[in-house]
Amino acid sequence: MKQKTKLIHGGIVGDEATGAVSTPIYQVSTYKQDGVGGLRQGYEYSRTGNPTRHALEELIKDLENGHAGFAFGSGMAAISSVMMLFDTGSHVVLTDDVYGGTYRVMTKVLNRLGIDSTFVDTSDPENVKNAIQENTKAVFIETPTNPLLKVTDIAAVSAVAKEHGLLTIVDNTFTTPYWQTPIDHGADIVVHSATKYLGGHSDVVAGLVVVNSAELAEEVHFVQNSVGAILGPQDSWLLMRGIKTLGLRMEEHEVNAKEIVSFLERHEGVTTIHYPGIKSHPGHETAAKQSRGFGGMISFDVGSGEKAARVLEKVKYFTLAESLGAVESLISLPARMTHASIPAERRAELGITDGLVRISVGIEDIEDLLADLEQALED
Ligand SMILES: *Cc1c(COP(=O)(O)O)cnc(C)c1O
CA–centroid distance for 25 within its chain: 25
222/188 Cα distance (integer angstroms)? 17
pLDDT of residue 349: 83
Could you confirm whether 196 is annotated as catalytic?
yes
Atom of ligand 1 nearest to the CA of 206: 7
Task: Give the mutation target among 74, 79, 173 for probing the ligand 1 site: most ligand atoms within 8 A of CB.
Answer: 173
Looking at the whole model, is its pTM more than 0.85? yes
> Structural domain boundaries of the chain?
3-243, 247-376
Measuring CA to CA, how many Å separate 18 from each of 14, 23, 309, 348? 9, 10, 54, 59
CA angle 40, 44, 49 (to 5 degrees): 105
Average pLDDT over residues 194-206: 98
Q: Which CATH architecture has domain 3-243?
A: 3-Layer(aba) Sandwich (3.40)
Task: Give the mutation target among 72, 74, 76 for probing the ligand 1 site: most ligand atoms within 8 A of CB.
Answer: 76
Q: What is the pLDDT of residues 120-155, one digit of tens each?
A: 999 999 999 999 999 999 999 999 999 999 999 999
* pLDDT at residue 342 greater than cutoff 90: no
Q: Could you check whether the bond before residue 144 is cis, i.e. omega within 30 degrees of 0?
A: yes
Atom of ligand 1 nearest to the CA of 207: 7
Q: Which CATH architecture has domain 247-376?
A: Alpha-Beta Complex (3.90)
Could you confirm whether 150 is annotated as catalytic?
no
144/288 Cα distance (integer angstroms)? 12
Residue type present at position 364? E
Which of the following is catalytic: 171, 301, 354, 372? 171
pLDDT of residue 262: 97
Could you confirm whether 346 is annotated as catalytic?
no
- What mean pLDDT is reported for the chain? 96
Q: What phi and psi values does residue 330 have, to the nearest 5 degrees?
A: -125, 150
pLDDT of residue 67: 98
Which of the following is catalytic: 53, 137, 150, 196? 196
pLDDT tier at 25, thresholds 50, 70, 90:
very high
Could you confirm whether 61 is annotated as catalytic?
no
373, 265 Cβ separation under 8 angstroms: no
211, 223 Cβ separation under 8 angstroms: no
Query: Atom 6 of ligand 1 has which residue's CA nearest to it?
Result: 75
Q: If DSSP states are collapsed to H, E and C, what string results for 28-58? A: CCECCCCCCCCCCCCCCECCCCCHHHHHHHH
pLDDT of residue 297: 97
Query: Atom 7 of ligand 1 has which residue's CA nearest to it?
Result: 75
> HSE on the CB side for 49, CA within 13 Å?
15
Which among 257, 253, 263, 371 has a CA at the least distance from the CA of 314?
371
41, 225 Cβ separation under 8 angstroms: no
Atom of ligand 1 nearest to the CA of 174: 13
CA angle 363, 365, 371 (to 5 degrees): 120
Average pLDDT over residues 297-310: 96
Atom of ligand 1 nearest to the CA of 102: 10
150/357 Cα distance (integer angstroms)? 16
pLDDT tier at 343, thresholds 50, 70, 90:
confident
Query: Which alpha helices (H) appear in the chain, and where do they start and end?
Result: 3-9, 51-63, 75-83, 100-104, 125-131, 154-163, 176-179, 214-227, 233-243, 246-266, 284-290, 305-314, 344-350, 366-377
